[in-house]
Structure 1
Amino acid sequence: MKKKQLSSLLVLTAMGATTAFMAVGCSSGDSGSADGTVNLNYALWDDKQLPAYQSCVDAFVKENPGISVKVTQTAWDQYWTNLTTELSSGTAPDVFTNHVSRYPELAANNQLLDLQPAVDAAKVDMGQYRAGLAENWVKDGKRYALPKDFDTIALAYDSQKLKDANIDPASLNDLSWNPKDGGTFEQVIAELTLDKNGNNGLSADFDKKNIKTYGLLAYEPGDGFGQTWWGNFAASNGFTYTEKNPFGTQYHYDSPELADTLTWFRSVVEKGYMLPPEKLGKLGPVQLLSSGQVAMNTNGSWQMNAFTEANKDIKFAKLPVGPEGRKSLLNGLGDSVYAGTKHPEQAEKLALYLGSPECQNAVASKAVVFPAITEADATAVEAFKNKSTTPIDPSAFIETADEKNGTVLYPITEHATEVNKIAGDAIDAIIRGTKQAQPALAEAQQQINSLFGK
């Protein structure tokens, strides 16, 4: 999962049946209550997942009456701002949701507890998790989280707009893409793009300067890893982020496969088929797709509920097949324990519970995310399909995850924040048309090389 949720702060408190409500302090200064109850803080950023994990915490507290847990949710940007401050001041939550791009730096600063001894003592079955997820959290023999979920990328589309264009939704799963002419994928993008006179992108009368509906939105500003857009297409064109993953030290941003991919993205902007970055404004993909300003958007499985709640006509299809096959980035979050916690034993116990079948099956039944434990897949799929408000068919995401060689792990390296900034600035310039792809990427690569002493 990536980002970006509502900016509100929600706080829920889970208490044992016999424990009265109490103020819970930060981990560094909380030595427990007078009655002997240990008070833990657990933080996460996804508001959609908050109720599901609150139910897990409630169950945990019921099983452990000597522990209380306060759950705090803050949106992505503010979450990391808060956590950075709290880690520096020694007031970080005991347990918190972590991202693979963030934990290497936290581990290097000795801010995360090694969970491997607790995992070994509890005899946690690491084979229960989807392949690749558990290994992502291990560095130098130390384990810094247990996997809690996974996500893939697919194509969100407005089914009514496809109907208006006489495009069979099922055909989206069979589209092809290449960076030279865009393949059948670009043709569909063009057909779904309409100017203000009703001409689509294939019409000789099409006016690209006066667009009513763009066929595609596939862009996030400052995105140096391209999880929801360019990363998937570049991978399907033969691009690899690093020489190994996790913890490679040689990025490949100067590869021709990436330059060709980004040049294609710029070309569909120039043709008037894709929403230009300068017109993005403050609206996000959910608002733009649900309001009809764009017809399709590449995005992650964590956004399924947001899309369908905004517009029941939004459905999901697989990404197109590229020269090297269909590829989707696969990522997963984990729950880490703060190294400065006053209650390491209890915090570890909570972290292991959050990564357990009991919790993940419960989360799966809430239809908010795909849990990391594979046995919960079927439960999650049925929960999405049987939602009482807006049923969702998540097949595009789960089938992509299960497709042989169909996924690429999110890159995990040192200096991720700096890499993202350098590469993101270069890619922004390419998509905006202010720089050509190859020289911009070559310059970025030189800067990134210097981070790794190359």
Structure 2
Amino acid sequence: MSRTYRATAAALTLTLLTACGGAGSGGTTGTIEYWLWDSAQQPGYQKCADAFQQQNPGLRINISQYGWDSYWSKLTAGFIADAAPDVFTDHLAKFAQYVDLEVLRPLDDLAPTSDLQDSDYQPGLAELWKGKDGKRYGAPKDWDTVAVFYDKAALDAAGVDPAQLQNLSWNPQDGGTFEKLIAHLTVDAKGVRGDEPGFDKNNVKTHGLASEGAGGSGWGQTQWSAFTASAGWQVTDTNPWGTRFNLDQPAFQDTLRWYFGLADKGFMPTYAEIGGSNPIGTDKQLQSGIAALGISGSWMISTFTKLTDAAGRKLEIGVAPTPIGPTGKRASMFNGLADSVTTLSKQPENAAKWVKFLSGEQCQNLIGESGVVFPARPEATELAVAYNKNERKLDVTAFTDQVKDKTTFLFPVTTNAADITALLQPRLDAVYLGSKPVSSLTELNNQLNDLFKVAQ
């Protein structure tokens, strides 16, 4: 356990002991403070809040939206200073640490959420939000997978039919048909393509594949995770709550050696080109012409469909599935968000009533009809699919087929998440930069396994 983690835990424990002593359940009136980070989702959840308030006249929902980075720092500060919200949008990357720090109320212990059923949500989604004690600490709100977004104009210029993207395959030896495609989509400053004689890998105008960095802050979710998983690799021996990391396995290291090698070939931007440890997104890379296609998450659909070129013309964006790997299957990380009630809430029963509504049919359908994300309930997911097809003229089944075809794998849920990220991110950055070999991740694996020993 790191010094920062111990200090935070101590401060939070002292605050919680003080706060919980006088915490009541609240009455049927009051203001419930609700935090989220995604500005695109705020309008949909405001509709949910309006509907909830109509049904509960004495209760008011106050929604606060903060950007991703400031969101988590403000939340941590709020826990320490007894200023945390009643309910907040939780992420699996943070969930395990909050359970360890005991800042989340078990929803099973609160009357409104005591009867939540796993079967109401997409298979496997609700189980992600249970602690080692088997109790539920989050009510599912949405889910996501990853797929390939592409700029149709870039494909047209290369003479590539979008249908070719439906059955691409890859392997760590020569990259398969996937690498052949991104090589052809890559164009240097003189107009020479990556699969043509005379290609200058050091002066590339458009890379075939976008990059969102080394992937150390989210287990390569929108970077290499679709490749490592389709090679048969998983982060820990079991998930959730594994006891050993697998960064020393050949399937992982061979895949990363190939993946980061794409930058050496010029087919993917270098670490410096995308802004280093704070990279620009795939959406910006397609918009500016830095890349022709790239892997990103379903939560970005609305962003991609709003992209315009320098002249203000709308870009024609398409979506294709992740490539098939050595296992004979494609893969996508299956992640989800949930709403959690904090232990600092002075009105936990009212807060739980709001959480129950957020995960219920009415609110989920409202979110589905907005088309911003895929809601946790299957029926609401279908509404989101229909919205994209009818309103955006966009086929998003590359995301939903991963769930239907059972080719997803779970976001890794482990103890000591903050310490893991602190160790993982700079080491993967070093591999991307080329200052450390992929084999150095074996040493990192040993360090991560030591964290498990401390946690036991």
Partner Cα separation in structure 2 for residue 170 and residue 278 of structure 1: 33
**TM-score (structure 2 length as normaliser):** 0.89
State the 1:121 CA deviation. 6.6
Q: Residue in 2 aligned with 1:418?
A: 419
Does the aligned pair in 2 maintain the 1:175–1:321 contact within 8 Å? Answer: yes
Identify unmatched segments of 5+ residues in structure 1: 1-25
Structure 1 residues 111-169: Cα deviation after superposition (integer angstroms, max 9, x where no partner):
11110134787633320111111011111021101110000000011111101111110
Which residues of 2 match residues 222-233 of structure 1 at below 5 A? 222-223=216-217, 225-233=219-227
Report SS of the residue matched to 1:310: coil
Does the aligned pair in 2 maintain the 1:99–1:334 contact within 8 Å? Answer: yes
Identify unmatched segments of 5+ residues in structure 2: 1-18, 309-314
Q: Residue in 2 aligned with 1:362?
A: 366
Matched, 1:242 2:236: yes
Does the aligned pair in 1 maintain the 2:248–2:445 contact within 8 Å? Answer: yes
Partner Cα separation in structure 2 for residue 118 and residue 29 of structure 1: 17
Q: Residue in 2 aligned with 1:306?
A: 303
Does the aligned pair in 1 maintain the 2:212–2:282 contact within 8 Å? Answer: no
Which residues of 2 match residues 46-445 of structure 1 at below 5 A? 46-118=38-110, 123-139=115-131, 140-221=133-214, 222-223=216-217, 225-281=219-275, 283-311=280-308, 312-324=315-327, 325-387=329-391, 390-404=392-406, 406-438=407-439, 440-445=440-445
Structure 1 residues 238-286: Cα deviation after superposition (integer angstroms, max 9, x where no partner):
1111111111121111111111011001221111110111111263221
**TM-score (structure 1 length as normaliser):** 0.89
- The alpha-carbon distance between structure 1 residues 178 and 63, as it changes in their structure 2 partners (threshold 3 A), is same
Partner Cα separation in structure 1 for residue 47 and residue 113 of structure 2: 26
Partner Cα separation in structure 1 for residue 155 and residue 22 of structure 2: 57
Identical pairs, percent: 40
Moved over 6 A (4+): 26-33
- The alpha-carbon distance between structure 1 residues 345 and 443, as it changes in their structure 2 partners (threshold 3 A), is same
- The alpha-carbon distance between structure 1 residues 254 and 119, as it changes in their structure 2 partners (threshold 3 A), is farther
Partner Cα separation in structure 1 for residue 452 and residue 357 of structure 2: 37
Letter in 2 for 1:56: C
Cα RMSD between the aligned structures?
A: 2.2
Does the aligned pair in 2 maintain the 1:27–1:93 contact within 8 Å? Answer: no
Letter in 2 for 1:428: D
Q: Residue in 1 aligned with 2:4?
A: none
Partner Cα separation in structure 1 for residue 122 and residue 102 of structure 2: 27
Does the aligned pair in 2 maintain the 1:160–1:313 contact within 8 Å? Answer: yes
State the 1:27 CA deviation. 12
Partner Cα separation in structure 2 for residue 378 and residue 219 of structure 1: 29
- The alpha-carbon distance between structure 1 residues 135 and 308, as it changes in their structure 2 partners (threshold 3 A), is same
Partner Cα separation in structure 2 for residue 216 and residue 304 of structure 1: 18
State the 1:391 CA deviation. 3.4
Bigger drift between 275-284 and 375-384 goes to: 275-284
Does the aligned pair in 2 maintain the 1:224–1:427 contact within 8 Å? Answer: no
Q: How many residues align?
A: 424
Partner Cα separation in structure 1 for residue 373 and residue 113 of structure 2: 29
